[in-house]
Amino acid sequence: MIRMKSLSKVYRTHMIETHALRGIEIEVKEGEFVAVTGPSGSGKTTFLNIAGLLEEHTGGDYFLDDVNVTGLNDSQRSRLRNEKLGFIFQGFNLIPDLNLFDNVDVPLRYRGFPASERKRRIEEALGQVGLSSRMKHFPAELSGGQQQRVAIARALAGSPKVLLADEPTGNLDTQMARGVMELLEEINHKGTTILMVTHDPELAARAARNVHIVDGLVTDFVRRESPTLVAVA
Ligand SMILES: Nc1ncnc2c1ncn2[C@@H]1O[C@H](COP(=O)(O)OP(=O)(O)OP(=O)(O)O)[C@@H](O)[C@H]1O
């Protein structure tokens, strides 16, 4: 589903070059749940943003669902992103002035689905995260955990193949974090591939696979189903 070959990312600002990713080799298969861990500044968000087509890599190749995204133009990248990917962020990123229904509707409007199809998808997605009864509520009327559930519903409504989550529980207390993790596990069991950046060792340990990034390199893949160390770069 996700394949990166010698992938690198260099940020160039004010004469300074930052080598954020330095030759990533990784393959994530459909249906995997991968936790991405590593120290601050190691390149986790950069990795996730490139996987999510939010940023362009500067070297190597990236194949998303067998499409080589290297060299695609902005509109091709947007189309691929909208069709295949869903995003969840630490800060939820909901629009405060829109109720839950309309928040979940935002990316569906971009996709150009007809109103009846959007309604069906919104109701189904909010149902899946247990918030059917709150559709007319506004984000500020919900707890942090509930707001993250809305963000998950917004991501799910587009039926993404891959869900990318950057510290999805970073703003939540332990109890709420567990609830969100359980929901992500449920979504994964239904077939969605998940890539989740987390600083939380407890959550990382629950993912079937951990990818550890240090200093822009993947240093460790651990498949917890088998004790074998699959790759060390
Ligand atoms: N837009 C940017 N311009 C310049 N440098 C950047 C940019 N974004 C990230 N970097 C640099 O790239 C490196 C990797 O950053 P990244 O945000 O991917 O790390 P991270 O592992 O997600 O860190 P954290 O856990 O603290 O969020 C850092 O040195 C960072 O300063």
Rounded Cα–Cα distance for residues 165 and 161 (Å)? 13
Q: How far is the CA of 66 from the centre of ligand 1 (A)?
A: 27
- Report pLDDT for 174: 87
Residue of the nearest CA to atom 9 in ligand 1?
46
What's the whole-number mean pLDDT along residues 208-226?
79
Ligand 1, CB within 6 Å, residue ranges: 11, 13, 18, 20, 38, 40-46
pLDDT at 84 over 80: yes
pLDDT classification of 221: cutoffs 50, 70, 90? low
Query: Residue 225: which pLDDT band, with cuts at 50, 70 and 90?
Result: low
Give me the pLDDT at residue 161, please: 96
The CA distance from 159 to 76, in Å, is: 19
pLDDT of residue 201: 87
For ligand 1, atom 2: residue with the closest CA? 11
137 Cα–ligand 1 center, Å = 35
Query: Which stretches of 14-95 are assigned E, i.e. beta strand?
Result: 16-28, 33-37, 59-64, 67-68, 85-89
Residue type, 99: N
Give 142-169 pLDDT, tens digit per residue.
Answer: 999 999 999 999 999 999 999 999 999 9
Say how far residue 16 (Cα) sits from the centre of its chain.
29
Q: Interface pTM (ipTM) of the complex? A: 0.96
CA-closest residue to ligand 1 atom 6: 11
Strand pairing report for 59-64 and 2-13: antiparallel
The count of residues in the chain is: 233
**How many domains in the chain?**
1
Host domain of residue 205:
2-231
Rounded to the nearest 5°, which phi and psi values hold at 8? -135, 160
CATH code of the domain containing 163: 3.40.50.300
